[in-house]
Amino acid sequence: MHYLTIKDEKKRQRVQVFEKNRLILKTIARTQNLPKKLQWKARLKLSQLKRDGSSTRIKNRCVLTGRSKATYRFLKTSRIKLRELASSGLIPGVKKASW
């Protein structure tokens, strides 16, 4: 397994840990009916959370090569590896088109 894929997996675990707390704080900070002081405290706590807890830090990577660009979500592989696997017949229901 590529080291960038391992690093991304750790980020995904961190996001899962902080996701609930981050969502609660965001909701409190955005709710207009609550007192301004409470909203301000929620924003302050939100800014003090670790950056790696944010879901925007996650990057989809190929599980075989670690490539970050042109990665298909449903198979978690890059376009290059997808083509290789399809050509060798390892992905059921997929075959290389020729016309």
- Using CA atoms in the order 10, 14, 17, 22, what is the torsion angle rounded to 10 degrees? -150
List of domains in the chain: 1-58 (1.10.287.1480), 60-93 (4.10.830.10)
Global confidence as pTM = 0.61
Nearest to 75 by CA among 88, 61, 96, 89: 61
Other Cβ atoms closer than 10 A to 61:
22
Task: Decide if 65 contacts 82 (C-beta within 8 A).
Answer: no
Spell out the per-residue pLDDT of the chain, length 99, in tens. Answer: 678 778 888 888 888 888 888 888 888 888 888 888 888 888 888 888 887 777 777 788 888 888 888 888 888 889 998 888 888 888 888 877 777
